[in-house]
Amino acid sequence: MITVMKTQLTGRQEEILIFIKQFREENGYPPTLREIGKKFGISSTFGVKRHLDALVKKGYLNIESNASRGISFSKDENITSTNIFNLEKELGFQKIPVVGRVAAGTPILAEENIEGSVILDSSFIKRSEDSFALKVKGDSMINVGIYEGDLVIVSSKRDIHNSDTVVAMLNDEATVKTYENKNGKIKLIPQNEKYKPIEIAGTDDFKLIGKVIGVVRWLN
């Protein structure tokens, strides 16, 4: 089976393709040649048709011959990132990355640290919060119900205050602790008697990543 080879769209073609998508989302049916022409200031239906023919040839569209509004998208355009964004808003969820082990010297959200993603209800997080999930290692926070294997949901955008649970990078390790800042002296406080509070020294490689805003635990 020979598949149509996708090739690069011209700027005009891309504009028209986006318009057709938006038109259909807003109206529930695709536009006509004349409606496209009206939008782009193209007075000739043949000019519009040439663009559509190119989009068909390049594999982005299907056109039903002689059918009014006979424009549809090729199969592999059905769920695009734009659609997913719209669906996330409409259905009320967010898909966020899950950070597992953090490689030394890498930003926490580096590609190599991402071991998957998780879908959460929008009531937990907003898209603008730049959230991610971090898989918990260790038992330093069990007194506040955060256990090894849990996912903590982290927002990079929330203000952090004393007693908040935070995620921080400390000497190339991601850690979850209770945050304390008194007179500029920062402590990361475990919530397990087995461990002592950590005072951040000036020489420590320390960075606050974000505030823990949720916990998800899966019991097996």
Partner DNA sequence: ATTTGTAGTGAACAAATGATTACTGTTATG
Partner DNA sequence: CATAACAGTAATCATTTGTTCACTACAAAT
Spell out the residues 6+ positions from residue 53 whose beta carbon is closer than 8 angstroms to its own: 63
For residue 177, indicate whether it is catalytic.
yes
122 contact choice in DNA, a second copy, none (CB below 5 to 8 Å, kind-dependent): a second copy
Q: How far apart are CA 131 and CA 137, in angstroms?
A: 19
Query: Among a second copy, DNA, none, what does residue 27 contact (CB within 5–8 Å per kind)?
Result: a second copy
Choice from 2, 5, 201, 219 touching a second copy (CB under 8 A): 219
* Other C-beta atoms lying within 10 Å of the C-beta of residue 86: 13
Given DNA, a second copy, none, residue 45, with its beta carbon under 5 to 8 Å by kind, binds DNA
Output the smallest distance, CB 113 to a second copy, in A.
Answer: 19
Question: What is the spatial distance between Cα 88 and Cα 199, in angstroms, rounded to a whole number?
Answer: 41
* Chain mean position to CA 163: 28
Residue 61 token pair: 């569209």
Q: Which does 124 bind (CB under 5 to 8 A by kind): DNA, a second copy, none?
A: a second copy
Q: What's the CA gap between 38 and 96, in Å, rounded?
A: 40
Q: Which of 177, 185, 187, 196 is an active site residue?
A: 177
> Cβ of residue 82: shortest distance to a second copy, in angstroms?
14
Q: How far apart are CA 27 and CA 44, in angstroms?
A: 23
Q: Is 98 among the residues that bind DNA (CB under 7 A)?
A: no
Alpha carbons 73 and 38: distance in angstroms, whole number: 21
Query: Are 46 and 37 spatial neighbours (Cβ–Cβ below 8 Å)?
Result: no
45-64 binders of DNA (CB under 7 A): 45-47, 49-51, 54, 63
Joined tokens for residue 126: 């907003």
Tell me, yes or no, if 117 is annotated catalytic: no
Stretch that binds a second copy, among 2-10, 40-48, 112-120, 201-209 (CB under 8 A): 112-120
CA dist., res. 125 & res. 109, Å (int): 17
DSSP secondary structure code for residue 167 in this structure: E
Q: Does 215 bind DNA (CB under 7 A)?
A: no
- The residues annotated with a catalytic role in the active site are 140, 177
Binding site for DNA (CB under 7 A): 10-13, 32-35, 37, 40-47, 49-51, 54, 63, 65-71
Which residues would be at the binding site for a second copy (CB under 8 A)?
Answer: 24, 27-30, 32, 62, 64, 67-73, 78-79, 84, 87, 90-93, 95, 118-124, 142, 145-147, 150, 165, 212-219
